[in-house]
Structure 1
Amino acid sequence: MNTLTFGLTCLLLATFLGAGVVKGVTGMGLPTVAMGLLGAVMSPLTAAAILIIPSFVTNVWQMLVGRDKLRLMRRLWLMMLCIVIGTVLGARLLVVVDPVWSGRALGIALIAYAAYALFSPAISTSERVEPWLSPVIGIVTGLLTGATGVFTLPAVPYLQSLGLQKDELVQALGLSFTVSTVALAGGLLAHGAFRLDQLGLSMLAVLPALVGMWLGSIVRQRISPKTFRRCFLLFLVVLGLELALRPFS
């Protein structure tokens, strides 16, 4: 599946353009959309490898825009360290588990994230529990990232619960996703599952992802972010059901 055919080229361009648009509008969602769409036509292991570079580039961009990055790094460093540990451990599952079961796990992760985002009430984490809860969230996020290639749970709802300002939250998400991307790459390398041909496909996906983010920033000014977000989450539910209910070959 890694041979660069015309069909694969079109798939990558369309997938990362669409995923970039989602990230441009909502500030997140590029790995989630890309893993969901690519996971429908290839193994989650291959999809995760292709995701590495466009995810890294777009998330570093998001992380560096603003003045709060150093303060956020000091506050969240233990969570980030635990994300790295959990991701490297969890990546083993992507390597050894049957691709059908990996696809099912990915589908369940997409459904769980969308259901939480659609129906859960806003929660708040007190400063008293943050020192011990952050590493727990980091480990769980890392294990799920390594096993499915999706970075969102439970990191996104946890960061949203910390009472960060809007710009701080965007940077914190960028920091978390950047660390998760680097850790996933390290986990795949450690388990011998990241090859040079996948690196080329990953580099190919950077441009459409950046173009998509630019288009998404324009779309964000023209439509209701709440409506777009709801449609995006419902799309993830449908995609997750397709992956989770896929029959064995």
Structure 2
Amino acid sequence: MDEITLSALALCVAITLLAGFVKGAVGFAMPLIMVSGISSILDPKLAVAAIILPVVATNLAQTFRSGIGPAWDAAREHRVYILLVCLSILLVGQLLPAIDARTMYFVLGVPVTTLAALQLVGWRPRIAPERRRIAEIVGGLISGSLGGFAGTWGPTTVLYLLALDVPKARSVLVQGVIYGAGSFALLATHSVSGILNRGTVPLSALLLVPSLAGIWLGFRVQDRLDQDLFRRLTLGVLVLAGLNLIRRGAGW
């Protein structure tokens, strides 16, 4: 914290407030916005550390907004996906200190941007019931690996839920459950990897307030969105976030 200027800290707070608002409105993208925004002013690995406590807190708020019962039902339905996400985060996250940041951005940005843009122009992928289990396994492994590398497993999770054609309210709930479980895995893995330590925890804790304020405002917007608008906004956020990650990977 001693090495962060007041202006940089103010920008981190503003970025977190925006990220929380977007998450509240569409159910995801908080880590993407925070990592891409904060890493433009601070070290990328410090940006990953900064998101951890806000991600845990906002995912808990999203998960239990509808109560414990619906959250438990969502967890049971998607238990295989959740388990694979958490295991992949724990394993892959140990490699983060040795991973080049620009590679990390490209690995996440290119597929997310491509898949979201294709859906915006009319492509509607569908997962057939008989292929759901294999899609769950592959999607969970990919999402968890990206979570371990970049601190975000939202984009691929959203694409997976869109392919299942999950309704808006259910999608936001399921996302909260998946992200909530994964966020605790992220907290555990980076406590071990050294990314989250006594030097980085204060910044992450400070950003709890703007993250919770932002998600509360976003929830108010989400309640007024119809299904089609929600889907288009979700894809639009995915495209913008993916393009920004590609920009960072290219060093622009």
Q: 1:127 to 1:219 in 2, by over 3 A?
A: closer
Equivalent pairs counted in the alignment come to: 244
Alignment match, 1:137? 139
Q: 1:129 Cα shift?
A: 2.4
Provide, for residues 140-159 of structure 1, a one-character-per-residue CA deviation record: whole Å limited to 9, x for no partner. Answer: 21111111222124322112
1:68 and 1:168 in contact (8 A); partners too: no
Q: 1:56 to 1:217 in 2, by over 3 A?
A: same
2:105 and 2:246 in contact (8 A); partners too: no
Q: 1:139 to 1:237 in 2, by over 3 A?
A: closer
Q: 1:6 to 1:173 in 2, by over 3 A?
A: same
Alignment match, 1:42? 42
1:17 and 1:209 in contact (8 A); partners too: yes
Alignment match, 1:168? 170
Note the 1:190-205 alignment, pairs <5 A: 190-205=192-207
| Paired letter, 1:10 | A
* Off by >6 Å, runs of 4+ in structure 1: none
Alignment match, 1:209? 211
Provide, for residues 8-46 of structure 1, a one-character-per-residue CA deviation record: whole Å limited to 9, x for no partner. Answer: 320221110111121122121111111111122333322
| Paired letter, 1:72 | A
- Segment drifting more, 183-192 vs 78-87: 183-192
Distance in 2 (CA, whole Å) between partners of 1:202 and 1:2 is: 14
SS in 1 for 2:96: helix
Q: 1:138 to 1:201 in 2, by over 3 A?
A: same
SS in 1 for 2:154: coil
Alignment match, 2:94? 92
Distance in 2 (CA, whole Å) between partners of 1:79 and 1:222 is: 27
Q: 1:10 to 1:85 in 2, by over 3 A?
A: same
TM-score (norm 1): 0.85
Q: 1:56 to 1:86 in 2, by over 3 A?
A: same
Note the 1:182-197 alignment, pairs <5 A: 182-197=184-199
The gaps in structure 1 that reach 5 residues or longer are none
The gaps in structure 2 that reach 5 residues or longer are none
| Paired letter, 2:150 | T
1:43 and 1:103 in contact (8 A); partners too: no
Distance in 2 (CA, whole Å) between partners of 1:230 and 1:164 is: 14
TM-score (norm 2): 0.85
| Paired letter, 2:43 | S
